[in-house]
């Protein structure tokens, strides 16, 4: 049993969280490169909170130019135990309108060219992604979103596209035929990397638009998205604060905390020392001292 340190990754429109007390922006260096920004580190009651704006303050970084390995690495270095990701998404179904929130429980990864693992040649690992989110944290996020006044869907499949362009109509219809509920550009490989870092992860998708599948409507554009961002962000801030204030004082262990115990495959004698040094934060518990 131990306490909570919640990492909050803020997506489009969520660049700060009012109410985190005694905090300051902290620069953390990562062997995986430059993270999106400094992290705001403070507390809410007995819970330590670490906030990272995914696109940087002022939304400087495109989805395809993010460095999610560095982002997850710095959260791990700051002692984060669980990650709540907040993302702006499009809706692929009628009953999830703009302004509603979806708690993703599955992903389809259509990104390309993004490094999607901390592991590789010299240290191979295969984590399970069958159930890519933490059900405990997802349930807490859903309850907190409802308390903040949001219309919430407790589950949904998130289609992660490359971007930065929005979908074609043909793509949007294809993703609907696959059974996807929401579409975004940042949920992958973020969720995969959190699993490799043994961080329980939940993603709240804040719907800004209906993508471009609806007949007789204009295609989504940035002006439409921005118009919805403000209202969504206010609910998101209230959701985050409700979650932080209502977590139990003690954090019970999660199976995800030790998922690397059954994922490492490279024999100790042939592991790459340089890669092991880069893995000191995300996999140090399982790998031990270099």
Contacts of 91 (CB under 8 A, 6+ apart): 97, 98, 100, 102, 181, 182, 183, 207, 209, 210, 211
Tokens encoding 9: 């990754």
Check: CB of residue 76 under 8 Å from CB of residue 162: no
Known catalytic residue: 257? no
> Which pLDDT score is estimated for 215?
82
Which member of 24, 154, 209, 257 is catalytic? 209
For residue 225, what pLDDT band results from cuts at 50, 70 and 90?
A: confident
pTM (predicted TM-score): 0.95
Q: Is the pLDDT of residue 1 over 70?
A: no
Mean per-residue pLDDT for 169-191? 97
- Please state, in angstroms and rounded to a whole number, the distance separating the CA atoms of residues 56 and 169: 30
Number of domains the chain is built from:
1
Known catalytic residue: 105? no
Range of the domain at 51: 5-287
CATH number of 270's domain = 3.40.50.1580
> Which pLDDT score is estimated for 227?
75
Q: What's the start-to-end Cα distance of the chain, in Å? A: 27
Which member of 211, 221, 272, 280 is catalytic? 211
């Amino acid at each position: 049993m131990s306490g909570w340190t919640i990492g909050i990754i803020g997506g489009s429109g969520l660049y700060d969280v009012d109410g985190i007390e005694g905090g300051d922006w902290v620069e953390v260096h990562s062997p995986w490169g430059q993270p999106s920004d400094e992290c705001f580190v403070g507390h809410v009651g007995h819970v330590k909170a670490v906030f990272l704006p995914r696109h940087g303050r002022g939304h400087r970084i495109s989805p395809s130019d993010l460095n999610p390995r560095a982002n997850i690495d710095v959260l791990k270095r700051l002692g984060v135990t669980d990650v709540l990701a907040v993302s702006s998404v499009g809706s692929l179904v009628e009953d999830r309108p703009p302004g509603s929130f979806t708690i993703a429980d599955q992903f389809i990864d259509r990104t390309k060219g993004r490094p999607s693992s901390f592991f590789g040649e010299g240290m191979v690992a295969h984590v399970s992604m069958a159930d890519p989110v933490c059900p405990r944290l997802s349930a807490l996020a859903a309850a907190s979103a409802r308390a903040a006044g949001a219309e919430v869907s407790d589950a949904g499949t998130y289609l992660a596209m490359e971007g930065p362009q929005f979908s074609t109509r043909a793509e949007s219809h294809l993703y609907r035929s696959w059974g996807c509920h929401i579409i975004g550009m940042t949920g992958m490989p973020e969720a995969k990397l959190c699993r490799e870092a043994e961080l329980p992860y939940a993603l709240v998708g804040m719907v800004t638009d209906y993508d471009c599948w609806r007949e007789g409507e204009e295609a989504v554009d940035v002006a439409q998205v921005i118009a919805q961002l403000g209202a969504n962000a206010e609910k998101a801030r209230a959701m985050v604060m409700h979650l932080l204030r209502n977590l139990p004082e003690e954090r019970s262990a999660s199976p995800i905390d030790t998922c690397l115990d059954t994922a490492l495959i490279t024999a100790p004698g042939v592991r790459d020392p340089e890669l092991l040094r880069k893995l000191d934060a995300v996999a140090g518990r399982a790998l031990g001292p270099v």
